[in-house]
Structure 1
């Protein structure tokens, strides 16, 4: 039977594609910035510890902004919050190279600008993610495909952005990458401004603290998502240390080539993009809990262990691609659970709360990686990170709450209209 198309579906389908394009621009620019900053610090200071401090200034504001900004996104509306966030964030990013090329950018000033940049940018990311269910339903796109498409675009942009950053660092320097990052923010704001306002994107006005408390209470009652968020706290901390410190050190000290930095970071995105496409094709036929657990395990341990073992670079690159492939199924599974369980008026603040909790360990990741490397060496640090990755992957196999993952009905989820996602199974 042919599915019923909502009035104006073609127009809103174009809006969904515009959302994907805006997010692709933003993610590409962000990847350029994420690689440009640690390389800039390494070149200017030669210190792994100071590189870790810069990573801290990148990740700590994400936690603050995600925790408190999600409620503002619900109150302002998804579209307006995204546009304001992108405009402000883009101007701050452009200030970095301008100051570097004029009066000179000191290390403390760089840390301050990084803090403000991520403080402003995170609500925009939350707002764009919160738009997905409404735009998908209004455009007659099945939610499962929409979630996979959104994550696939993110993965694809990361895949392109990371190796491109490695090449551009070698050719043009870190300052030019920051200019591109700022421009992508501004272009994203223009694209999102053309999307029609969605009624489901504005919550009822109440006290800010009460709204914030509602988001925290909702997450606390959902044991499955709470457990998943706890896993992400640990893994995001490790990922930050690996991506922003350990891979840069590996490229400098082992591969002796900045392109190795970009290629290894991009290999994760390439593999994850393929994994997202693969999961979208066969995911409904796979057991969710086992799939999630195995993919979570394979996404972290092998790619770090192969670097610790000193394998040749082509082998390390291949293993990294396979780890990325396993990671491709993780976000679609979590995304479906979020959109199914969280009511539209609470969506941004709950997603923001989950993001803040999941990113809470990220500021420590760069500091831990930099400090531990200076104390014990790169190889020992990689082994330690691999061991913690393994421990963080155990809950889907050992915790009772994860049985709910197998009881969810994917077909029932994708048929839901926006705003009906508040039921908790």
Structure 2
């Protein structure tokens, strides 16, 4: 497959791995900062207020702006360029995290002000995450790296962050207090902006100028937005992926924001257990992502995808509901992490193959926002449910919902296109940008 890789806008002699390494490094540090704050911030709210509902409210205030801003950022990313957007977003996230630390140090951090700053961080994170994702395919092409291998490496990077972040967050919370973890978060986002500024070419990802219209006049914001929505609406496989992943993301948000911290407190294991389980799952996911990076293009995508979800989802919830020994919990999280390592490489390759390059920012933004629509509600609903009926019934209900959602989705006929697309690419090679049809006109 390597021989079929094209480098758009860059002659073969300019092929270099530097852009791909830069994108992955920026992803790594930003994701690590996010994972650290995901341990530190909920634990801070839980132990200072004793309220699962308030803990869920903090998660809502971070994730609602994340989803909303990301949904409408796609046209801006396509027009201004993902490098510029990533740079500004990382700086904004760093400043928001630093403001929490400063205000807490001078005893001026009220709960409403904390919610406002968390919302600012979430609003900045959305465009930053999107911009880094959009830069992956061209960075891979500039280095002559197969797409599935690049998305696999992106998955490895995310999983490494999922390993290091919870360990650092859990250790900081246990040793020096939860808000100290936000100092690491601020440093990570600041470092990410430096990497983007230094390592990435200025026009990386600026494929939008080569759009399908071929005219010098650029369309307006809402026309760009509508083009992305119209394309996505006409893709049954992508829409089915969005619905399924949207439901599982809601359940995962409930798990990480409320259910796992409440379990850690009620079981007596404390924040160190959150870090341990996160790092075990993350380390196992690194192994899964490495296998996917090396071999995913040779495997049946649909089988790998749903097998990964089968072990990555429901077992994590069920094991916490039954007061199992810590060794059993660690083992389940390890198996779940390994299965989860296969998911994003498969999803990333399918998305990047099916979406024309000039629509990538818009479609990716819309898809990510729709799959993330339940994230703000996950912690909020879980907090209210735990308060009403207790932890174990909520864990079991989430396990059942996860199992039914992922298995019933696999029965739908549009998922067969996941393997058909792979077979076409193996025989014909990737579609060339010039051969891709223009996006259908909006009604």
**Equivalent position of 1:269 in the other structure:** 282
CA distance, structure 2, for counterparts of residue 51 and residue 2 of structure 1: 47
Q: What SS class does the counterpart of residue 163 from structure 2 fall into?
A: helix
CA distance, structure 2, for counterparts of residue 221 and residue 276 of structure 1: 30
CA distance, structure 2, for counterparts of residue 79 and residue 93 of structure 1: 22
Q: Is the 8 A contact 1:6 1:139 kept in 2?
A: no
**Equivalent position of 2:14 in the other structure:** 8
Q: After superposition, what is the alpha-carbon deviation per residue over 1:151-210, rounded to whole angstroms, capped at 9, x for unaligned?
A: 111111111111221111011212221111111111111111121123642535322111
In the alignment, structure 1 residue 416 sits paired with structure 2 residue 430: yes
Q: After superposition, what is the alpha-carbon deviation per residue over 1:45-94, rounded to whole angstroms, capped at 9, x for unaligned?
A: 01011101111112111210111112211111011111111112211111
How big is the alpha-carbon RMSD for the aligned residues of Structure 1 and Structure 2?
2.0
The 1:210–1:319 alpha-carbon spacing in structure 2 relative to 1, beyond 3 Å, is same
In the alignment, structure 1 residue 233 sits paired with structure 2 residue 246: yes
Equivalent of 2:375 in 362, 383, 399: 362
Q: What SS class does the counterpart of residue 206 from structure 1 fall into?
A: coil
In the alignment, structure 1 residue 203 sits paired with structure 2 residue 221: no
CA distance, structure 1, for counterparts of residue 204 and residue 249 of structure 2: 33
Q: What SS class does the counterpart of residue 394 from structure 1 fall into?
A: helix
For 1:364-383, list aligned pairs within 5 A: 364-383=377-396
Q: After superposition, what is the alpha-carbon deviation per residue over 1:250-307, rounded to whole angstroms, capped at 9, x for unaligned?
A: 1111133210111122222222111111223332343221221121122111111111
CA distance, structure 2, for counterparts of residue 166 and residue 47 of structure 1: 20
Q: Is the 8 A contact 1:274 1:325 kept in 2?
A: yes
CA distance, structure 1, for counterparts of residue 202 and residue 248 of structure 2: 35
Q: What SS class does the counterpart of residue 318 from structure 1 fall into?
A: helix
CA distance, structure 1, for counterparts of residue 192 and residue 229 of structure 2: 29
CA distance, structure 2, for counterparts of residue 89 and residue 202 of structure 1: 26
For 1:134-173, list aligned pairs within 5 A: 134-173=138-177
Equivalent of 1:111 in 95, 100, 115: 115
Q: After superposition, what is the alpha-carbon deviation per residue over 1:205-231, rounded to whole angstroms, capped at 9, x for unaligned?
A: 322111111111111111001101101
Q: Is the 8 A contact 1:70 1:352 kept in 2?
A: yes
CA distance, structure 1, for counterparts of residue 240 and residue 279 of structure 2: 29
Q: What SS class does the counterpart of residue 203 from structure 1 fall into?
A: helix
For 1:7-406, list aligned pairs within 5 A: 7-10=13-16, 13-194=17-198, 195-198=200-203, 200-201=205-206, 203-204=208-209, 205-406=218-419
CA distance, structure 2, for counterparts of residue 418 and residue 139 of structure 1: 17
Q: After superposition, what is the alpha-carbon deviation per residue over 1:290-346, rounded to whole angstroms, capped at 9, x for unaligned?
A: 221121122111111111122111101110110111111111111001111111221
Q: Is the 8 A contact 1:200 1:419 kept in 2?
A: no
Q: Is the 8 A contact 2:170 2:273 kept in 1?
A: yes
Post-superposition offset of 1:411: 7.8
Bigger drift between 199-208 and 65-74 goes to 199-208
CA distance, structure 2, for counterparts of residue 258 and residue 381 of structure 1: 21
Give TM-score scaled by structure 1 length. 0.95
Give TM-score scaled by structure 2 length. 0.91
The 1:81–1:271 alpha-carbon spacing in structure 2 relative to 1, beyond 3 Å, is same
Post-superposition offset of 1:418: 7.4
CA distance, structure 1, for counterparts of residue 357 and residue 28 of structure 2: 24
The 1:145–1:255 alpha-carbon spacing in structure 2 relative to 1, beyond 3 Å, is same
The 1:417–1:171 alpha-carbon spacing in structure 2 relative to 1, beyond 3 Å, is farther
CA distance, structure 1, for counterparts of residue 63 and residue 234 of structure 2: 27
Q: Is the 8 A contact 1:267 1:324 kept in 2?
A: yes
Structure 2 stretches lacking a partner, 5+ long: 6-10, 210-217
Q: Is the 8 A contact 2:64 2:375 kept in 1?
A: yes
CA distance, structure 1, for counterparts of residue 345 and residue 390 of structure 2: 36
Q: Is the 8 A contact 2:138 2:204 kept in 1?
A: no
